[in-house]
Amino acid sequence: MPETDLLPVPAHAGAFPPCFLPREVALPDCGALPLSGLTVLLVEDSRFASDAMRLMCHRSGARLRRAESIEQARAHLKTYRPDVVIIDLGLPDGRGDDLIREISLARRRSVVLGTSGDPDGRQTALAAGALGFLEKPVAGLAGFQRAVLRHLPDRFAIVADGGAGDRVLADPLALQDDLAHAAGLMAAGPDPGQRRYLAGFIGGLARVAGDRDLANAARAMEKGVGAMVPMQQMVRARLAEGRGL
């Protein structure tokens, strides 16, 4: 069973539980775990998105480490050399594409992938030097495995679509925890920069959770045409409902 290592997570996170292939060739040592032996560093501030990635890594045989900010990721990379680094574009202390560019310029051997709930993030991530892009929500376990394997030419494995069972369901309590964190930040009176970060954070959560109304409100706020008060009301309503996936 693959081991999961996590860097420190924020107080709001609570108790966090510890590609297309050029051709499909089965290797005996991969078996049903095509990412066996790989270490993945996930740079992601959302507990909900992180839990989904934890499950996908676990079911693929990969070992996951997590950083919730650029600062934590840099500290991690000074000590460890992950095989794959997956970087969210919207982070609390800066832009994920800046970290992608930094890693690319350092010519590290890691496979670097960008991720975002905004499909427009693909161009941003690739321009910064990412080898690929994972749009949230990630399209099933097989889609995740292919997105990684296509950049590892020495590792071939058969990745079979699992139909309905291919979907990874993150912990609904993690979504509630992220929404509570966002509500707290909004209540504290964020500055314009924090408002943009919050809009992106909530929008990403909404897209992963399939909440179209919340996603539209977050997009409007991010563009400066939506007020924060309606967003606060929507987040509070979802917290009161205990809404999960």
pLDDT of residue 60: 93
In a domain, 6, yes or no: no
CATH of the domain at 157: 3.40.50.2300
Paired residues of 65 in beta bridges: 41
Paired residues of 66 in beta bridges: 42
Mean pLDDT of the chain: 82
Shared domain check, 144 and 84: yes
User: Each residue of 201-221: pLDDT tens digit?
Assistant: 999 899 888 899 999 888 888
Is residue 242 scored above 50 in pLDDT? yes
Is residue 243 scored above 80 in pLDDT? no
Q: Say if pTM beats, i.e. exceeds, 0.85.
A: no
Query: What share of the chain in percent tops pLDDT 90?
Result: 52
Helix (H) or strand (E) holding 114: strand 111-116
User: Each residue of 34-49: pLDDT tens digit?
Assistant: 999 999 999 999 999 9
Question: What is the rounded distance in angstroms from the CA atom of residue 199 to the CA atom of residue 202?
Answer: 5
- Structural domain total, the chain: 2
Shared domain check, 162 and 52: yes
Shared domain check, 135 and 83: yes
Which range (28-37, 50-59, 226-235) has the least confidence? 28-37
Shared domain check, 102 and 54: yes
Residues ≥6 apart with Cβ < 8 Å to 172: 243, 244, 245
Per-residue pLDDT band at 160 (split at 50, 70, 90):
low
Question: What is the rounded distance in angstroms from the CA atom of residue 12 to the CA atom of residue 155?
Answer: 38
User: Each residue of 118-154: pLDDT tens digit?
Assistant: 888 999 999 999 999 999 988 789 899 999 999 987 7
- Between helices 212-222 and 192-209, what is the axis angle to 10°? 160
Number of H helices, E strands in the chain: 9, 7
Q: Is the model more confident about 222 or about 132?
A: 132
Instruction: Please confirm whether the linkage preceding 10 is cis (ω < 30° from 0).
Output: no
Which residue in the block uniquely carries the two structure tokens 């314009």? 192
User: Each residue of 63-116: pLDDT tens digit?
Assistant: 999 999 999 999 999 999 999 999 999 999 999 999 999 999 998 889 999 999
Residue 207 belongs to domain spanning? 172-241
Shared domain check, 116 and 20: yes
Q: At 40, is the secondary structure helix, strand, or coil?
A: strand
In a domain, 177, yes or no: yes
Fill in the DSSP letter of residue 105.
H
In a domain, 103, yes or no: yes
Question: What is the rounded distance in angstroms from the CA atom of residue 203 to the CA atom of residue 232?
Answer: 13
Residues ≥6 apart with Cβ < 8 Å to 184: 12
